[in-house]
Structure 1
């Protein structure tokens, strides 16, 4: 009789397990690698002369006569980002005692060139692939006589450029560019500049149909183009949940595997991230303070939100940073409470493992997702009835034992 009671109690306990279940969270993560690159200033100067109605590359004619007008057209071309240009003209003379050439011997300056100090400044921005002529011709004084016969004259034209972004010359001043240090810029042989593309909407979506996180585009800095010293670059990422259930979105960053040079570049750039009206992060682009997940909020079904970011490029960057680049990975994670209850029965767990392991369910497209056991979702009415039944059994056992003693 005692053996039979133990067996019955065991059956009731198994019955209790059969109607219990587990629940947990579906989680998905996506990584977006954002690239930042520094723009470049690149100009060239070629010289032309007119032969009849045509322009041809300039050639040194050698001997010249007093009173001659020499066609000489220095042309400055911009091959990179918009810039301001200036030029100065230096003269050489093999016979110091004799008069040489100077700016009064030049003609054909376009109206937008102004003389300030030793430089000529072009007062309009020179855009990419645009060109401007400095002057058109050189006049040899008719008064020069035989003593100038063996004189050798030379002209050196030095053209310089400075970025148009975040810089405005003061053309009323004697030095319109101020005390800017102009460095020699080293360019790639076949370097081409990256220009801004048409604006692309940045989105991170917890997609209902795919039941996963989707990002568009694959680089959230795509709208920023190439950065220039002093730039302040901003954009907005739209976050949305198009599934049927609430979900929490999380955000963190990573620069794992980046070189020290690239990390140093990221440290120079200031970053601010704002979610809604709350400042989520303020620091540098390397963003070690965002290595752990930060919650962007819990999104109801159909809810959207905006995550804004702002990059501030150092004004101290110069030609040494030209065409350099670095990247940082932004990582988004979604946690969704799984609705599906997985009963621990022989029908659903024919390949039953021990109760300490997690079970698995399938999402809308048949992918397996891990469910971490966090509680019991059994029907309370059934559980209550089983508890009463098991209590009644214990009472019967106790009463039976008592009856045995009398």
Structure 2
């Protein structure tokens, strides 16, 4: 019976050694924080006048005389995103029975201005920091006589702008801007607006030398710049595995930490993601369906793929969304199965063959093992304990005999 107990104990040890220690698993995670920002339409209207060869801010003359020409330069400057501008000129006169100022008294207006209805429209896009002068001079009619004396006159100018992005006026019609509603600006004075720079290539790589996930650049929305209502934007992220082993890549998003204003922005922008032309997600930028891991596929050594994403900003958004900003975290995870050095079996002394690598889940237990390995270890430990207990009972029975 003692021999039987020793054999059972050896078998338990052999089973335990044969089922553990053969494979290890490597996992790495990479977070890319993408920034989304809405642009602004912001113009400034100031009046200048010529004094000699220089320009100074305009001041109203106390009196004018018939035939006199006044230097008056209304200048519209764009402080933000490229836009179209228009201006309406109205005149103030404290007498109804005598002539006042009229458009014919204005001089020095560029050919880029055309009048449609009650507005003058500038027919070129005004880029950021560019200016357009509405006119240069006002001439008092020489025919005005005594009946115009002590008359109080005024010229009132109202300037308006609309984004150039996703909007094309029709200058052949009487209403080039159509029925667009012009709202009061809600921007900060001289509100900053970033512009798109040179296009950057986007990539996520499971790097062989560093043996970790690497991204370039740190913001995958960098080519978007500052978005405007109606913008449609597409870009591609190159995903590759430059290691010598196959690996599975996973992807999910996170918008935690955003306030209600930022979440409102993210909930309005549409997002679509494709991996090698296969749709992975279609919804809003806050991505409620992307909070869980989604596999991008198992990548063989040297294999790469393309992750395409599309953003659509609502065209109906108005000035209440100007200059809003929000962040979205895109999280990439890699799982790689790493075979360890093969072990000798206690029974034959031969090397066990390597098991083929399989697809692994990104979920880990608190001690670093994945759930399948954890269950296997507990099972083997339990079997070893039961066999040992059986040996102990048999051994005691031998003493009684």
For the criterion TM > 0.5, the same-fold answer is yes
Counterpart CA distance in 2 for 1:217 and 1:342 is 40
Q: Secondary structure at the match of 1:48?
A: strand
| CA-to-aligned-CA distance 1:203-245 (integer Å, 9 cap, x gap) | 1111112211111211111110011010001111110111110
Question: Is 2:172 the partner of 1:172?
Answer: yes
Residues 194-213 of structure 1 correspond to what in structure 2 (within 5 A)?
Answer: 194-213=194-213
Return 2-11 or 311-320, whichever deviates more.
2-11
Counterpart CA distance in 1 for 2:7 and 2:114 is 106
Instruction: Answer whether contact 1:37 1:323 (CA < 8 A) is retained.
Output: yes
Equivalent residue for 2:106?
A: 106
Instruction: Answer whether contact 2:42 2:191 (CA < 8 A) is retained.
Output: no
Question: Is 2:157 the partner of 1:151?
Answer: no
Distance change >3 Å, CA 344–CA 228, structure 1 → 2: farther
Equivalent residue for 2:330?
A: 330
Question: Is 2:43 the partner of 1:71?
Answer: no
Alpha-carbon deviation of 1:94?
1.2
Residues 127-146 of structure 1 correspond to what in structure 2 (within 5 A)?
Answer: 127-146=127-146
Equivalent residue for 2:353?
A: none
| CA-to-aligned-CA distance 1:296-355 (integer Å, 9 cap, x gap) | 11111111111000000001111111101112111111111122258699xxxxxxxxxx
Equivalent residue for 1:47?
A: 47
Counterpart CA distance in 2 for 1:71 and 1:158 is 19
Q: Secondary structure at the match of 2:147?
A: helix
Counterpart CA distance in 1 for 2:36 and 2:344 is 51
Counterpart CA distance in 1 for 2:146 and 2:204 is 81
Equivalent residue for 2:95?
A: 95
Counterpart CA distance in 2 for 1:92 and 1:342 is 96
Equivalent residue for 2:217?
A: 217
Counterpart CA distance in 1 for 2:161 and 2:128 is 12
Distance change >3 Å, CA 5–CA 110, structure 1 → 2: same
Residue segments in structure 1 that go unaligned for 5+ positions in a row: 346-368, 376-396, 402-406
Instruction: Answer whether contact 1:26 1:371 (CA < 8 A) is retained.
Output: no
Residue segments in structure 2 that go unaligned for 5+ positions in a row: 346-366, 374-393
| CA-to-aligned-CA distance 1:279-307 (integer Å, 9 cap, x gap) | 11111111111111111111111111110
Equivalent residue for 1:263?
A: 263
Q: Secondary structure at the match of 1:224?
A: coil
Counterpart CA distance in 1 for 2:286 and 2:13 is 55
Counterpart CA distance in 1 for 2:259 and 2:52 is 58
Equivalent residue for 1:308?
A: 308
Alpha-carbon deviation of 1:70?
0.8
Question: Is 2:235 the partner of 1:235?
Answer: yes
Instruction: Using structure 2 for the length normalisation, give the TM-score.
Output: 0.84
Equivalent residue for 1:163?
A: 163
Counterpart CA distance in 2 for 1:117 and 1:373 is 74
Equivalent residue for 2:377?
A: none
Counterpart CA distance in 2 for 1:17 and 1:184 is 76
Counterpart CA distance in 2 for 1:175 and 1:190 is 29
Equivalent residue for 1:32?
A: 32
Equivalent residue for 2:6?
A: 7
Return 277-286 or 252-261, whichever deviates more.
252-261
Counterpart CA distance in 2 for 1:125 and 1:138 is 26
Q: Secondary structure at the match of 1:289?
A: helix
Instruction: Answer whether contact 1:273 1:307 (CA < 8 A) is retained.
Output: yes
Counterpart CA distance in 1 for 2:332 and 2:151 is 74
Instruction: Using structure 1 for the length normalisation, give the TM-score.
Output: 0.83
Q: Secondary structure at the match of 1:10?
A: helix
Instruction: Answer whether contact 1:85 1:161 (CA < 8 A) is retained.
Output: yes
Question: Is 2:187 the partner of 1:187?
Answer: yes
Distance change >3 Å, CA 131–CA 344, structure 1 → 2: farther
Instruction: Answer whether contact 1:24 1:374 (CA < 8 A) is retained.
Output: no
